[in-house]
Structure 1
Amino acid sequence: MTTREKDQAIALSALFQAAELVATLAKTGQVNQEQLTPLLDSVLILDAPNTCDIYGGEWEWSTQLQQGKQLCKKTLGNDRNSVDPDIIRYALSVLHLEAKLSKDKTMLSTVGTKLGNLVRQRDHFDSSTHANIIAAMSGLYQDTLSNLSFRIQVQGDSRFLQQGHIAEQVRAILLSGVRAAILWRQLGGRRWHFIFKRKALLHALETR
């Protein structure tokens, strides 16, 4: 296993954890805060010495992204049928959305500027999971990514999705998924790797 494959496994774990949280939130109106926090934290880490530091560090990322790591292993392995199809759909949709974003240099610049402003807001509220920060992340997503030609369709219980604070959480989590997808691409990750580098990725996911 190379360092790059390990880093790609971290990015994929974060992507699948975001996809799972969106699916659960849309259907139940509930979200696991321990799984949510490292994802939202990652959105506001704009400069890190290495990949694992974006998700808690060398000894913490595997625990913080445990749910996403397990889902990714099942999806790439022989247990794909046990994974909620919506989770796989959201993960692939986020990758597609990020690919659209990567080609829009003006929007990329806008996102970067808005993230810088968000970091300053987070420092004021001292938490990436504060309602005001989640609302700001949601607004960033609406102002930018929602205007691309491809939009992610979230399916769930309308009783929850029509609630403003839940819709904001969904968009904030999707933004964290895009953060992971950007990282995946920067590390050389491509869709075809899910087929032709599957064994190498699985090995990386099974190694701390």
Structure 2
Amino acid sequence: MSIENNTIALAGIFQASELVRQIARQGMLDQAPFEASIQSVLKINADSIMDVYGGLSGIKTGLQILCQQLGNETKRNIEVMQYVLGVVFLERKLAKRQDMLAKIRIGIEKSVAETEIYAATHPQVVEQLANLYTQTLSTFDYRIKVSGEQRFLENPHNADKIRALLLAGIRSAVLWRQKGGKRLQFIFSRAKILRTAQDLLGMTKNLS
């Protein structure tokens, strides 16, 4: 297991979760990490885990949030952690459903085809990904409950972004699991993950 690859995938889950929190609480989100997270869903065949997010800079927000959640008690956000754990739990349920995995892959391939006409974060592409989440992962008996301002949650464009981001979180959770990720790491490998995330975050500063 590469702790670096494991941490990058974990940062992908934290990034998607933080963006869900932003849009649910503020009605807006940071565009650059949003684009990177959506692109990570559409990148079916990537050369490396870093390539999934368009390079290390694409996962910068996720690394920042991961460092805050694991290393700074005063900056921890319980909602973000709830979304992270919810995504990890859903991914485990999804892993047992080959039929649903196949349906998700077909749906993602359709969205990839749409990006030949539209940008990855175009409302039509985001809506397609959101509908795919609704038709598959939302059918499980466990659902991720998103907390926020009702006026933001009731906005259909915001709702689409939230569902598309949860799908992005699942994509990262699949990668994390493939790279040896386990829930117990949050307890037993916390310090190692934090150090790796801090090192990777330092590398993103050299890229900017």
TM-score range, shorter chain: over 0.9
CA drift at 1:124? 2.1
Q: What TM-score comes out, normalization by structure 1 length? A: 0.92
CA distance in 1, matches of 2:3, 2:20: 26
1:72 aligns to what? 66
Deviation at 1:204, TM superposition (A): 1.5
2:97 corresponding residue in structure 1: 104
2:24 partner amino acid: A
Q: CA deviation at 1:83?
A: 1.7
Give the residue type in structure 1 aligned to 2:26: T
Return the offset for 1:76. 2.0
Q: Which one of 144, 157, 161 corresponds to residue 152 of structure 1?
A: 144
1:142 Cα shift?
0.5
Query: What is the RMSD of the two structures over their aligned residues, measured on CA atoms?
Result: 1.2
1:163 paired to 2:161: no
Q: 1:188 aligns with which of 171, 177, 180?
A: 180
1:143 match: 135
Q: 2:11 aligns with which of 10, 13, 32?
A: 13
TM-score, structure 2 as length reference: 0.92
Counterpart residue number, 1:87: 80
Note the C-alpha offset of 1:72: 0.8
The secondary structure found in structure 1 opposite 2:117 is: helix
Deviates most, 32-41 or 195-204? 195-204
Task: Tell me how far apart the structure 2 counterparts of residues 84 and 196 of structure 1 sit (CA, whole Å).
Answer: 20
CA drift at 1:84: 1.6
Identity of aligned residues (%): 35
Rounded to whole Å, the distance in 2 between the matches of 1:173 and 1:129 is 11
Aligned to 2:123: 131
Gaps (5+ residues) in structure 2? Answer: 201-208
Distance 2:78 2:136 in 1: 27
Q: Structure 1: how far apart are the matches of 2:81 and 2:6? A: 17
Q: AA paired with 1:184?
A: W
Q: Distance in 2 between matches of 1:71 and 1:56?
A: 18
Aligned to 1:46: 44
Alignment: residue pair count: 200
* Alpha-carbon distance in 1 for matches of 2:9, 2:146: 22
Q: Which runs of 4+ in 1 moved over 3 A?
A: none
What is the CA–CA distance in structure 2 between the aligned matches of 1:7 and 1:123, rounded to whole Å? 29
Deviation, 1:164, is: 0.8
1:175 to 167, 170, 173: 167
CA distance in 1, matches of 2:29, 2:199: 27
* 1: CA distance, partners of 2:176 / 2:35: 20
2: CA distance, partners of 1:93 / 1:66: 22
Partner of 2:206: none
SS at 2:116 equivalent: helix
Amino acid aligned to 2:66: C
The equivalent of 2:31 in structure 1 is 33
